[in-house]
Amino acid sequence: ASAPAPVTTPAPVPAAAPLVSPPAPATTTTSLVTNAFPSFARPTAAQLHALSSGGPSPPLRSLSQSFPHRAPSLTALKSGVCVPRPVYVHEHTAMLTSISELTDGSLYLADFGTSKPAWHVFLDTSSPTTPTFTLTPTTTTTVSPPLAQPQTPPVPLIVGLSGAATVLALGEGDVLAVHPDRNRVERAGTCAWHRDDIIKPYAATLFRSTVLVTQDSPPCVLKLNERTGATMQIFALDPDCRPRGIAVLSNTCYVCDQRNQRLLNFSLNADEAPAAPRVLVDRLSRPHGVALDPFGNVYIANNGDSSLRVFSSQGQSLLSLPLKRAPLAVHIARNGTLLFTHTGPHGLQAFDP
């Protein structure tokens, strides 16, 4: 009998390679924050709490419109391809009347509602969360990717700033607040001062080492020393003027005259005697806020007819953007994003650059 065939053991089957998920595609985000100021760290909630308690704080300062920044694309805005989208909406906000961009790219939003504080909004697109913002009681819209991911809940500045129409950062951890209902302009922080003799102040902006503040009665723009609050110069306006938004580019100041539906401008040159303001644009509709781009174009929040109007430096109409709700403040961020606040469900919206 023949010998049985040898039994061969089959070669082991190699283990299947573990499944590896393909890398997630990179997400492109549009950020309002540039890297122009890498030395300014984004403040934490603890630092802001220290600010509210009088402790140390980050060296934040509001930027003026004279600071180098990009301009929004008027071509894209005219074509209709840019539509506004929510950036920041919170149920506790009431009436956001001013926007101030700080050196770290974050924003101060002044909340003029009763017993409301000013808000510090952090513009950060690193979070993967896509928030949903309620625009009307029955309609929601999803923003992807988010322009801003504020801390939850948003961090108030100083409780004493409740009811301020304008809030600015002055560096050294100090904050300037304008209180129309209290006839008060104050600097809170390490170099504190206050003025209770300015009747119905409303809007303010920085100009070099001074603060420009509007006053209702008598109508004028006051130039105040930033560190002491002393009046350095007075720019008189028409007796029936009601000044609201204010902005500066180079040595020219622009003021919205809400009562007379127009935009005024005048020179801030210290070597010249204050000249009477000239009317740059008229036939507006309750203008409230004003901003400027590097080319001298003027952006006006037309509260009366719910639109954003754009004019050249010579007053020529360039663009009219209809909005769903009446705008209050308008601001151009350093990367060219056009920001505005609105009434209704109060919040902040943006046209991407």
**CA–CA dist 256, 242 (Å, integer):** 8
Give start and end residues of each alpha helix (H) in the chain: 45-52, 74-79
**CA–CA dist 214, 222 (Å, integer):** 6
pLDDT at position 7: 53
The percent of residues in the chain predicted with pLDDT above 70, rounded, is 67
pLDDT at position 194: 92
Cis amide bond preceding 218, omega within 30:
yes
pLDDT higher than threshold 60 for residue 5: no
> Across residues 292-301, what is the average pLDDT?
94
Segment (H or E) for 308: strand 307-311
Q: Label residue 19 by pLDDT band (50, 70, 90).
A: very low
> Across residues 59-73, what is the average pLDDT?
76
**CA–CA dist 160, 157 (Å, integer):** 9
> Across residues 204-225, what is the average pLDDT?
95
Residues in the chain: 353
**CA–CA dist 5, 15 (Å, integer):** 29
- Residue pair 104/42 in contact by the 8 Å Cβ criterion: yes
pLDDT at position 312: 95
pLDDT higher than threshold 80 for residue 47: no
Q: Which of 34-43, 84-93, 106-115, 141-150 has the highest mean pLDDT?
A: 106-115
Task: Specify the higher pLDDT residue, 207 or 189.
Answer: 207
pLDDT higher than threshold 70 for residue 49: no
Q: Average pLDDT, whole number, for the chain?
A: 75
**Pick from 16-20, 72-76, 78-82, 281-285: least confident:** 16-20
Cis amide bond preceding 4, omega within 30:
no
pLDDT at position 63: 83
pLDDT at position 149: 40
**Pick from 161-170, 179-188, 294-303, 323-332: least confident:** 161-170
Segment (H or E) for 342: strand 338-342
Q: Which string of b and e fits 154-174 if b means at least 16 CB within 10 Å? A: bbbbbeebbbbbbbbbbbebb
pLDDT higher than threshold 90 for residue 116: no
pLDDT at position 318: 96
**CA–CA dist 182, 197 (Å, integer):** 10
Cα separation values, 267 from 134, 272, 273, 299, 301, Å: 43, 8, 9, 19, 22
Lookup: tokens for 335: 């990367």
Task: Specify the higher pLDDT residue, 35 or 295.
Answer: 295
Residue 59's Cβ-count burial label (10 Å; 0-12, 13-18, 19+) is: middle
**CA–CA dist 48, 65 (Å, integer):** 25
Q: Which residues contact 92 (CB under 8 A, 6 or more apart)?
A: 116, 153, 154
Q: At 175, which amino acid appears?
A: V
Q: Label residue 86 by pLDDT band (50, 70, 90).
A: confident
**CA–CA dist 243, 266 (Å, integer):** 13
**3-class SS letters over 217-240:** CCCEEEEEECCCCCEEEEEECCCC
**Pick from 10-19, 68-77, 199-208, 283-292: least confident:** 10-19
Task: Specify the higher pLDDT residue, 26 or 172.
Answer: 172
pLDDT at position 4: 57
Strand 317-322: give its sheet, edge to edge: 287-292, 298-302, 307-311, 317-322
pLDDT at position 258: 96
The percent of residues in the chain predicted with pLDDT above 90, rounded, is 41
Q: Tell me which residue of 321, 339, 298, 348 sits closest to 76, measured CA to CA.
A: 321
pLDDT at position 342: 86
- Residue pair 288/244 in contact by the 8 Å Cβ criterion: yes
Lookup: tokens for 344: 């209704």
What digits encode the pLDDT tens for the residues 321-353?
A: 999 899 999 999 888 889 999 876 657 888 876
pLDDT higher than threshold 80 for residue 255: yes
